[in-house]
Structure 1
Amino acid sequence: MNFILRILLTALAVVLLAKLLPGVAVTGYLTAVIVALVLAILNLLVKPLLILFTLPVTILTLGLFLLVINAIIILMADAFVSGFAVNGFFVALLFSLLLSLFQSLLFSLLGKD
């Protein structure tokens, strides 16, 4: 049940960010839910591999390269979901930063697991 609420809150954050940021577009609410699911799957499967492969760069940049990895995950979600569009790397970087902020605010409403 908690997973479904997290997906729906992430979809809400995606819709809000698509309205706020000029370089992000989502065609509908169902597309936002699909984007949230794809982001959850990519964060579960692909992100740990990217972190492992880029560990030396991440250590050299004191963890700031993780922001780049998050932007890559957003761009991968853009490639997988047809109704979701992000225009460029820096828009994806800003989107990932704001999405993380919105998620932390919205997930704090859920309380502890």
Structure 2
Amino acid sequence: MAKFLLRAVFAAFGLWVASRIVPGVTVVDTGALILAALLLGVVNAIVRPVVTILTLPLTIITLGLFLLLVNAAMVGLVAWLIPGFRVDGLIAGILVAIVTGVASWLGGLALRDDRK
């Protein structure tokens, strides 16, 4: 549970950075940011694998680039569910997915367990 919360902190940081540098992304307050990060973690854990499997042929044909659209759709779903978090358009969603993905990746590197 602690790792999930730490990953949510990195996702919240990524969403905050995206709200600052990506035009069309609005976060009203810190509560909406934290709630969006937690919900994004849940959506990425539950909904994203199902959508990824359902769109596997399209992902293979596009050599994985379709996953950017899947990630943008997950961000759009979170934006649709959280009133204080808004993403305007597909390009903004893709850019938010990229920024949040990089922040989460860096967070995963920081949380990596070297005991293996």
Match of 2:90 in 1: 89
CA distance in 1, matches of 2:95, 2:14: 13
Q: Are 2:78 and 1:77 aligned?
A: yes
Q: Are 2:57 and 1:56 aligned?
A: yes
Deviations 1:78-110 (A, max 9, x none): 100000000101110111011111221233222
TM-score (ref. length: structure 2): 0.89
Contact kept? 2:14, 2:101, Cα under 8 Å: no
Matched ranges for 1:31-50 at <5 A = 31-50=32-51
Counterpart code for 1:88: G
CA apart distance, 1:59: 1.1
TM-score (ref. length: structure 1): 0.92
Aligned length: 113
CA distance in 2, matches of 1:55, 1:12: 30
Structure 1: 5+ residue stretches without partners: none
CA apart distance, 1:62: 1.3
Q: What's the RMSD between the two structures over aligned residues?
A: 1.4
Counterpart code for 1:108: L
Q: Are 2:16 and 1:15 aligned?
A: yes
- Sequence identity percentage: 32
Deviations 1:22-71 (A, max 9, x none): 21011111111100111111111111111111111111111111111001
